[in-house]
Amino acid sequence: MRRRKQLTSIGSSDMPAASVKPPKGLAVIIADKIRMAIVDAELEFGESLSEDTLASAFEVSRTPVREALNILQIEGLVTIVPKSGTYVFTPTVEDITELCDYRIGLEQQAVTLTPRNSISKAVADLQQHVGAMENAVETGDMQAYGRADTEFHLAFFRHCGNRYLQNAYKLILGRVASLRTHLAIHAPGEPERSMADHHRMVTLLGREHRAELATLLATHIAHTRNNYLEVFQSSSELGRGRGRATRLRRRLAIAT
């Protein structure tokens, strides 16, 4: 009995806290910076990303840059073409359509699975991001609006209680957020229509009208998909590349 108590004491006092996260590696930090630049539309669809220029901008060797680009390729945010280079992804009509259809299924399922005892927390989370969107509209900061919109939809997954569903959404999150910033905010009637939908979503979840909320999510994302396609097909800016390390530093938000 004495020995068992001693082991218990060691296990409870000497083990490191599970909540402690290891520091990010250099490649992950670089990937975070590039990802944010793509999501915020600082880097354009189809834009060439030179390893040498990125290494110069970040003041590092090419190795962590290459590792960062591999991370982003897995997320679908860049395309690495052998003997050609690395480019910010360029969506196609099929990509946009299929991605939005997939989103509908995931978000509806998240709403369905949310436990009743998590509803109030989910509603508070959604309301916080609606407030951030309203502030962004007032200040005309569409990048901030896009970030808040992304966090709003992420809230459904934060409270759904299913890790597999959360991970499935995370795999497409970068592309979803990029399309939102590059395309949706330039569509006619935005962001007013989007804001009205978001307010209604909060109300429906608070009242536990899940079926109505699922229907609204489908309509909301389908409308967003149509906006994406309209702006995408009419845009003349897609695929233009720009460069040089000093400009890239600013666009990647690297302190000078």
**89 and 176 Cβ atoms separated by less than 8 Å:** no
Q: Is the peptide bond before 22 cis (omega within 30 degrees of 0)?
A: no
pLDDT of residue 233: 79
Share of the chain above pLDDT 90, in %: 66
* Residues 31-43: tens digit of each pLDDT: 999 999 999 888 9
Out of 3.40.50.2300, 3.30.70.2860, 1.10.10.10, 3.30.530.20, select the CATH number for domain 22-90+238-251: 1.10.10.10
Pick from 116, 112, 111: nearest CA to 126: 111
Beta bridge partners of 86: 49, 80
Q: Please state at what angle helix 51-58 crosses helix 26-39, rounded to 10 degrees.
A: 110
Question: Distance between CA atoms of 125 and 109, rounded to whole angstroms?
Answer: 18
Query: Which tokens sit at 42?
Result: 């600082």
**Which residue matches tokens 């680009």?**
69
* Residues 228-254: tens digit of each pLDDT: 888 887 764 444 444 444 455 555 655
Taking CA atoms, 36 is separated from 83, 94, 163, 207, in Å, by 26, 24, 24, 35
pLDDT of residue 192: 82
Neighbouring C-beta atoms of residue 111, cutoff 10 Å? 22
- For residue 90, the surrounding DSSP H or E stretch is none
- The per-residue pLDDT of the chain, averaged, comes to 85
93-234 belongs to which homologous superfamily?
Answer: GntR ligand-binding domain-like (1.20.120.530)
* Per-state percent for the chain, helix, strand, coil, to nearest 5: 70, 5, 25
This prediction's pTM: 0.77
pLDDT of residue 164: 97
Asked if pLDDT for residue 49 goes beyond 70, the answer is: yes
Neighbouring C-beta atoms of residue 4, cutoff 10 Å? 8
Annotated domain spans of the chain: 22-90+238-251, 93-234
Q: Please state at what angle helix 26-39 crosses helix 62-74, rounded to 10 degrees.
A: 50
pLDDT of residue 4: 44
Angle of CA points 161, 25, 49, to nearest 5° = 100
pLDDT of residue 185: 63
**Whole-number CA gyration radius for the chain:** 21
Can you tell me the mean pLDDT for 185-191?
A: 71
pLDDT of residue 23: 61
pLDDT of residue 21: 54
pLDDT of residue 222: 94
**200 and 223 Cβ atoms separated by less than 8 Å:** no
* Residues 120-178: tens digit of each pLDDT: 999 999 999 999 999 998 998 888 888 999 999 999 999 999 999 999 999 999 999 99
Residue 157 φ then ψ, to 5°: -85, -30
* Residues 5-27: tens digit of each pLDDT: 443 443 444 444 444 455 679 99
Name the more confident of 234 and 111: 111
Question: Distance between CA atoms of 111 and 156, rounded to whole angstroms?
Answer: 6
